[in-house]
A and B are shown apart, each in its own frame.
Chain A
Amino acid sequence: MFHGPRQAWVEARLRERFTPTHLEVVNESHGPKENESHFFACIVSEEFEGKKALDRHRLVNAALQNPDGTLPFHALRIAAKTPAQWDADSRVPPAPRCAGGDK
């Protein structure tokens, strides 16, 4: 299975930033996987303790953003859980189906 350089970079950044107890990054690109345009990141970390979802996602975005605030790829789905939440429920939401525009 294709595992590209951008995915490796995302994994390394998230590991470095959140020292996760569980990390899963999935290449969800709709076209060729080599595009590495869409990712899903499931991150389980103590860092998220006491933070609401919006703030957790902001932290994850910030770890991957370019200096100008953009992401270096098209789309990022995030599941950010604390170890306690992960132990209680390790289900993650499915990706929405692409509606075709993808622009």
Chain B
Amino acid sequence: MMLLLARQARIGRTTTVRAAAAARALSHADFETKRHAVPNDDQGVRDLIGEQVSKNKVMLYMKGTPAAPMCGFSQQVVRILHATGVEFSSVNVLEDDSIREGIKQYSQWPTIPQLYVDGEFVGGCDIVTQAFQSGELDKTLKEAGVLKE
């Protein structure tokens, strides 16, 4: 768990402190006062997302944090990733509107959560669930080298 949290902190958008605050109260003020320096232009956001999905083999854009998901769909994907046993990084899109909208543009996908493996968009909750049940997700994770054969 500590490893997971450390990885979140490293990518800069999600820290344990902020996650706890977000879990207590979801107000705009909370997000505005704690907002980190995420680029506010479209190209900057695209570059940041590109960097996140390339530097993190398994990257989940979600609502809330793995420890405190704020949406049933995000929660389900977190549970699936835990079940596979892989280490993953995540970004809480509720903490930043530019990432929240940017990832939808980046993937051409209208909803959250969104899972990336090895820089490739895997899908949202329905597809991840389906892929987990069929064994396809394990295959994808093995191909990415994050799950042992």
Contacts and interface: CB of A to CB of B under 8 A. Distances in A.
Interface of A: 53-54, 57-58, 61, 65, 69-71, 75-79, 93, 95-103
A101 B130 contact: no
A75 B109 CA distance: 12
Interface residues of B, number: 28
B126 A58 contact: no
Contacts of A102: 70-71
A61 B109 CA distance: 8
B126 A79 contact: yes
A61 B64 CA distance: 24
A95 B72 contact: yes
B123 A53 contact: yes
B50 interface: no
27 contacts: A53-B123, A54-B121, A54-B122, A54-B123, A57-B126, A57-B127, A58-B109, A61-B109, A61-B110, A69-B104, A69-B110, A70-B104, A70-B110, A93-B126, A93-B129, A96-B76, A96-B125, A97-B72, A97-B75, A99-B70, A99-B72, A99-B74, A101-B63, A101-B69, A101-B94, A102-B71, A103-B71
A70 B105 CA distance: 9
B130 A53 contact: yes
Nearest to A77: B126
Given A53-B127, A54-B123, A57-B126, A99 B110 contact: no
B108 interface: yes
A101 B64 contact: yes
A75 B105 contact: no
Contact of B108 (A53, A58, A77, A78): A58
A77 B131 CA distance: 15
B126 A103 contact: no
Most interface-central of B72, B124, B129 (chain A CB within 10 A): B72
A65 B75 contact: no
Given A57-B123, A93-B129, A103 B26 contact: yes
A103 B130 contact: no
Contacts of B108: 58, 69
A71 B101 CA distance: 12
Contacts of B70: 99-103
Nearest to B69: A99
